[in-house]
């Protein structure tokens, strides 16, 4: 039984071999390319300068997102969305066994209050990023 479930790991055959082969696989080749990359001193200094500038910009842009209030807001949002998807899954899982309970859980999930909360969270988190990106591109 378990062999059938995990068959996808070995089902790739030649493709899996090409990726995972320890001597000539794609992962080994990429690792070798990264490990053998050599910078001149000038390239290394330029890379470090650009990296430092990027880290500084990132730190400044995300500084206000690290407050306790922001962390709490994100945690509440994540828990709310997780509960929404858990209830949707439960409604589907209950359906073959008890249609009344399934309908109850589904109706609970799709109430205007709970559904509106999930939509609001989605707009707040994803919409603000999309608007910021759109404004930056303009």
pLDDT digits (tens, 9 = 90+) for 25-67: 655 666 555 555 666 778 778 877 887 887 787 777 767 666 7
Average pLDDT value for residue range 95-119: 90
Find the length of the chain: 138
Which has the minimum average pLDDT: 28-42, 83-97, 113-127? 28-42
Report, as an integer, the average pLDDT of 99-125: 88
Residue 6 has pLDDT above 60, yes or no: no
The closest of 125, 117, 123 to 84, measured between CA atoms, is 117
Q: In the chain, what is the straight-line distance between the N-terminal and C-terminal CA atoms, in Å? A: 55
- Label residue 90 by pLDDT band (50, 70, 90): very high
Q: Where are the domains of the chain?
A: 16-66, 68-138
- pLDDT band at residue 86, thresholds of 50, 70 and 90? very high
Better pLDDT: 28 or 93: 93
Among the listed ranges 46-55, 72-81, 90-99, 102-111, which one has the minimum average pLDDT value? 46-55
- What is the pLDDT at residue 123? 85
- Residue reference for tokens 């990429």: 30
Give the span between the Cα atoms of 41 and 27, in whole angstroms: 28
Question: Can you tell me the mean pLDDT for 57-79?
Answer: 77
What's the mean per-residue pLDDT of the chain?
A: 75
Helix axes 112-122, 68-94, angle to 10 degrees: 130
């Amino acid at each position: 039984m378990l062999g059938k479930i995990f068959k996808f790991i070995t089902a790739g055959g030649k493709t899996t071999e090409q990726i995972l082969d320890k001597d000539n696989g794609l992962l080994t080749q990429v690792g070798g390319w990264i490990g053998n990359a050599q910078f001149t001193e000038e390239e290394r200094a330029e890379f470090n300068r650009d990296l430092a500038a990027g880290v500084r910009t990132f730190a400044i842009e995300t500084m206000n997102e690290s407050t306790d209030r922001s962390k709490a807001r994100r945690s509440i949002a994540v828990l709310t969305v997780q509960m929404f998807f858990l209830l949707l899954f439960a409604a589907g899982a209950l359906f073959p066994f008890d249609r009344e309970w399934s309908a109850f859980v589904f109706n609970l999930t799709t109430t205007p209050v709970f559904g509106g909360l999930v939509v609001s969270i989605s707009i707040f988190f994803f919409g603000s990023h999309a608007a910021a990106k759109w404004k930056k591109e303009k």
